[in-house]
Structure 1
Amino acid sequence: MFGLQGRPSLHPTVCLTAALMGKRHNMGSSAGLVEIIGLTGTFTFNPKEGIDNPVMVFTDDADSVSKPSPRLCVLKREERESYGFNLRVERGRQGHIIRNLVVGGVSGCSGLQDGDRLLEVNNCYVDDVPHTEVSRKIKLSGHQLCLLVLNGEEYEQAVSQGQDLRSLARAHKDEGCKPPRLCHITRDPASGLGISFLPVEGEKGHFSVSLVSGGAAEKAGVCKGDRLVWMNGGTVCDLTHSALNRMMKKCGNHITILVIDSESEKSYMRRRMPILPTMAVPHNLPHRARKLLLVSGPEGYGFLLRLERAPSGRMSHVLREMDRYSPAETAGMQDGELLLEINAESMETLNHEEVVDRVIQSGQQVSLTTITSQGLEFYTKLGLSPLLFCEDDGAEKEKESGEASQKEIEGLCKPRLCSLRKGPLGFGFNLGCVLQRPGTFISQVAIGGSGQSAGLIEGDVVIEVNGQNVEEKYLEDVMIVVRDGGHFLSLLVMEKTSYNKMRQTDTPANHVTAEVKKNIIYDKVC
């Protein structure tokens, strides 16, 4: 998949449609022609030999096109009420698509529209997340859900222009805004819980945190000046200070609270976004669900699955009798754990026979999500799904992930040398250009192709091809350089915004190339 997106015609309004005429031939024979159909006339040019899947697309100057406007939709539902929409993937369309809104339902009242594309679920970017995982996030949201969506037409236009949707979603937020923290505090024999709450003057239902230095609350991740949002499963916005103190006294030796720093709270309020535990980073939680990966041995997985009734009357699928040295024991399975998921599918609505069938149908490998009975009771009392916080999603993992993401973002702002080898999808990307200007950019990257493996991202500006600077070359000239490289290709690329900022300081193309080579990030070679 390597596309041609052409050089502008002599007329500024030409080049709206492209059609491939004829067949591809060897050098020396009459080559295929790409016919450019304009408003006032046509012309043709030879796309040269060896270019995979010629495509002709022209984009307007990005500065002259209005930016897409994501919308924040907050949905609230009652017990046993649905959110009133379907989330779909459709052939020939990109993104997670909102469909089948219930007239007068929760979704319609929130501002969702048919055809909207989903960018974020509860402040988590999901456009590049597998569809099943996105659906799972929505199901785990409980009775309140925040969706950041983009109108279908704006989404498709943004994708065709190579815009970075993640940056678009990020621009919707205030810089420096941090997620809330879900903190579990265990009473210290000497200093107690180490926390108290003060009413914020002039703001009913808002409480500021006061801490004992080095106390239990501070060790659990609470910070001085934090704002209290939620305590033991209930919001505090409707409580008086005296009612909050009475609640504190009933907590005993443990308390679980949702807090956020004051500046981030203001940001959420400006955007009219609720602060939810489903958005939180967990701190010091006493129980976590666990994900176990089992690979079947000669005698199977080596455990029994039984349906048992808990003292509370709740029926659960319980893991029992792990064989010694079995795959179950090797994976860390503990006797008495409760089964929550099989291969990321919830077991909540399945009967025992169906659950057993799911394990058998998994073949030689199965993924199980489990939790202790005490852990399930803990999350039930809080009104949260135990699947929200697994052991591999802990605070340290969140921190490492955040640091990695930041490094990745910083990396994209520097030049990257991407090496590609032609595969079944060609080089696995399309090139585009701005009308009547030299220079090219990555307009599309094929999923699973060589371009994606090498680290190309839609919107990247192409600086060099096979060591040759192409910043001032038109697209068809760049294509010739690509073709001459045969089955191997080396591209020096850079994220568009960062590239434009650099060009403002180093106008000559050769100076820019010399400067960027000082800080090249070498991507993996496919």
Structure 2
Amino acid sequence: MDLVPTLGARLLIQLWRQLQQVSRRRLPSPYVWLCPERPRFCLLSKEEGGSFGFHLQQELGGARHVVCRVEPGTSAQRQGLREGDRILGVNRHAVEQEALEAVARLIRASGPRVLLAVVAGPALDTARAQQGDGALLCPTLGPGVRPRLCHIVRDEGGFGFSVTHEHQGSFWLVLSPGGAAERAGVPPGARLLEVNGVGVETLTHSQLSRRLWQSGEQVTLLVAAPEVEEQCRQRGMPLAAPLAEGWALPTRPRCLHLEKGPQGFGFLLREEKGLGGHLGQFLWEVDPGLPADKAGMQAGDRLVAVAGESVEGLGHEETVSRIRAQGSRVALTVVDPKADRFFRMVRLSPLLFLESAEAPASPQSTRSASGAETEDPPGADTALPRAPRGSRQCCLYPGPGGGYGFRLSYVASGPRLSISQVTPGGSAARAGLQQGDEILEVNGRPVDGEDDVDRLHQLAEAEPPLCLKLGARSPRGWSGL
């Protein structure tokens, strides 16, 4: 006989079909929304000339950060942020144990987009009762297991990838061996998330092809390797741009360390309109030979942070006050016009791509100038031992293929052990290693002989990270090993 489903049965069938669609789209498993103790994620976009649309306060008698107001019609409301939500994470940082000001600083530094991990107050209380106050409830992604922002420059073989798709908005990349995409760090089988800062979830295959063609000779892709996609699915995390690590980016922010000399810092700060008509704080009239010039400041640089704290959206007087509050030593994070255009295009803050322990910036990205030439630059990374003047520290993590992306040379006279080749887009390239860099120490052990080549290869196979102390680049020739 014919079976006519009841209303309840039809609803169950409809729910089952929806869950099947969720699975096919590789979104987080349904149990994430059925478990109130698991955080939910809100990807917010800053309103033009405004804010994300919510207010934050610290819970009385505790260290929890509570959303106290959500503005109607804003990104925060559209993405489901609610009054009373507790913030557990900002981008890739767990903030449950952080002070309120540190949380606000991370949100401000995120720029146009921020990813918040939140949980409703009652659910957090339940989880704390079950797991204890010391348990961290915010899932995180480790180094090398995050989405990648890859900048690809077209060569004679094109961009070096083709696109496959299941349905609208779901695209995966097939790489050409040795092609431009592979050299730029795109992992095999990567899922495509964004093209030049624009999501692809609403695009058809023909619209995506047109957008790639319109990119010209260069394109910046946000991609996720299969293992990253699986890690995010298991943790209930979205594949969001603010989680990304940068691979072979055409430019990066620069951190300048200045110490005031007898004639001052040697630059002028001026508020004016920059790209898109946005007001910003720009650096001009850099005096030759004074600390700002020695630190690598360039006329036309835009100031984005003072002592690591974002100054985006601040007025001129408040920015000047923050610089003066640092006294005779100050650390300024700046972007030149090219970097400014790039990060505005991808809609991410340059502060997300500052040097860190797992992926330090290039040696040109951090320069120092001081009135006392023998002193270490202020603001040095306290997580690493201080290096002698003229040297620097780099900690490397293996890339997707397991290697660090560089080759060695040994020279009998002069600098003994140096970098002979750096793979573009590899771990070494992202850490700022360049051809000719002399290796002084490996994991804290001095390097001074030919036997160290074998020892370095052995250390490269040990537990990461691989920490190198590097000297200045050598002008001598190199002989490959």
Letter in 1 for 2:225: D
Between the aligned partners of 1:367 and 1:69, the Cα distance in structure 2 is: 40
SS in 1 for 2:256: strand
Partner of 1:72: 40
Partner of 2:164: 198
Between the aligned partners of 1:74 and 1:268, the Cα distance in structure 2 is: 14
Query: Is 1:281–2:245 an aligned residue pair?
Result: yes
Q: Which runs of 5+ in 1 are unaligned?
A: 1-66, 404-526
CA 1:318/1:179 → structure 2, altered by over 3 Å: closer, same or farther? same
Between the aligned partners of 2:221 and 2:131, the Cα distance in structure 1 is: 44
Partner residue of 1:369 out of 314, 324, 333: 333
Between the aligned partners of 2:307 and 2:96, the Cα distance in structure 1 is: 22
SS in 2 for 1:169: coil
Shift in Å, 1:284: 0.9
Matches within 5 A, 1:450-469: none
1:311-368 CA-to-partner distances (Å, cap 9, x unmatched) read 8766543323444553323433233322122334544434444433432343223231
1:441-464 CA-to-partner distances (Å, cap 9, x unmatched) read xxxxxxxxxxxxxxxxxxxxxxxx
Between the aligned partners of 2:339 and 2:228, the Cα distance in structure 1 is: 30
Between the aligned partners of 1:269 and 1:141, the Cα distance in structure 2 is: 25
Partner of 2:116: 146
1:29-87 CA-to-partner distances (Å, cap 9, x unmatched) read xxxxxxxxxxxxxxxxxxxxxxxxxxxxxxxxxxxxxx992321425557347544322
Partner of 2:370: none
Shift in Å, 1:231: 0.5
Partner of 1:230: 194
Letter in 1 for 2:135: L
SS in 2 for 1:286: coil
Shift in Å, 1:88: 2.1
Across the aligned residues of Structure 1 and Structure 2, the Cα RMSD in angstroms comes to 3.8
Between the aligned partners of 1:370 and 1:229, the Cα distance in structure 2 is: 28
Partner of 1:516: none
Between the aligned partners of 1:141 and 1:275, the Cα distance in structure 2 is: 18
Query: Is 1:300–2:267 an aligned residue pair?
Result: no
Shift in Å, 1:160: 11
Shift in Å, 1:308: 5.3
SS in 1 for 2:246: strand
* Contact 2:357/2:395 (<8 A) preserved: no
Query: Is 1:349–2:313 an aligned residue pair?
Result: yes
CA 1:394/1:283 → structure 2, altered by over 3 Å: closer, same or farther? farther
Partner of 2:128: 158
Shift in Å, 1:92: 2.8
Partner of 1:126: 95
TM-score normalised by the chain length of structure 1: 0.54
Partner of 1:51: none
Structure possessing the higher radius of gyration over alpha carbons: 1
Shift in Å, 1:222: 0.3
Matches within 5 A, 1:406-417: none
Partner of 1:359: 323
Partner residue of 1:220 out of 184, 191, 203: 184
Matches within 5 A, 1:457-496: none
Between the aligned partners of 2:315 and 2:72, the Cα distance in structure 1 is: 33
Shift in Å, 1:241: 1.6
TM-score normalised by the chain length of structure 2: 0.58
* Contact 2:92/2:243 (<8 A) preserved: yes
CA 1:122/1:307 → structure 2, altered by over 3 Å: closer, same or farther? closer
SS in 1 for 2:101: helix
CA 1:296/1:70 → structure 2, altered by over 3 Å: closer, same or farther? farther
Say which is worse superposed, 373-382 or 386-395, in terms of deviation.
386-395
Between the aligned partners of 2:67 and 2:396, the Cα distance in structure 1 is: 29
Shift in Å, 1:150: 5.9
Between the aligned partners of 1:191 and 1:337, the Cα distance in structure 2 is: 35
Query: Is 1:180–2:147 an aligned residue pair?
Result: yes
Letter in 2 for 1:264: V
Matches within 5 A, 1:8-19: none
SS in 1 for 2:138: helix
Shift in Å, 1:230: 0.6
* Contact 2:150/2:246 (<8 A) preserved: yes
* Contact 2:190/2:224 (<8 A) preserved: yes
Query: Would you say how many aligned residue pairs link Structure 1 and Structure 2?
Result: 331
* Contact 2:63/2:99 (<8 A) preserved: no
CA 1:343/1:282 → structure 2, altered by over 3 Å: closer, same or farther? same
Q: Which runs of 5+ in 2 are unaligned?
A: 1-34, 363-393, 399-481
Letter in 2 for 1:343: A
CA 1:131/1:159 → structure 2, altered by over 3 Å: closer, same or farther? farther
Shift in Å, 1:248: 1.6
Matches within 5 A, 1:307-318: 307=271, 316-318=280-282
Between the aligned partners of 1:106 and 1:339, the Cα distance in structure 2 is: 26
1:188-220 CA-to-partner distances (Å, cap 9, x unmatched) read 2x32321221113xx432111111112211111
Between the aligned partners of 1:104 and 1:246, the Cα distance in structure 2 is: 32
- Structure having greater relative contact order (Cα 8 Å, sep ≥ 6): 1
* Contact 1:292/1:369 (<8 A) preserved: yes
Letter in 2 for 1:242: S
SS in 1 for 2:163: strand
Matches within 5 A, 1:81-100: 82-90=51-59, 92-100=61-69
Letter in 1 for 2:118: L
Between the aligned partners of 2:111 and 2:324, the Cα distance in structure 1 is: 30
Between the aligned partners of 1:401 and 1:133, the Cα distance in structure 2 is: 27
Between the aligned partners of 1:255 and 1:98, the Cα distance in structure 2 is: 37
1:464-515 CA-to-partner distances (Å, cap 9, x unmatched) read xxxxxxxxxxxxxxxxxxxxxxxxxxxxxxxxxxxxxxxxxxxxxxxxxxxx
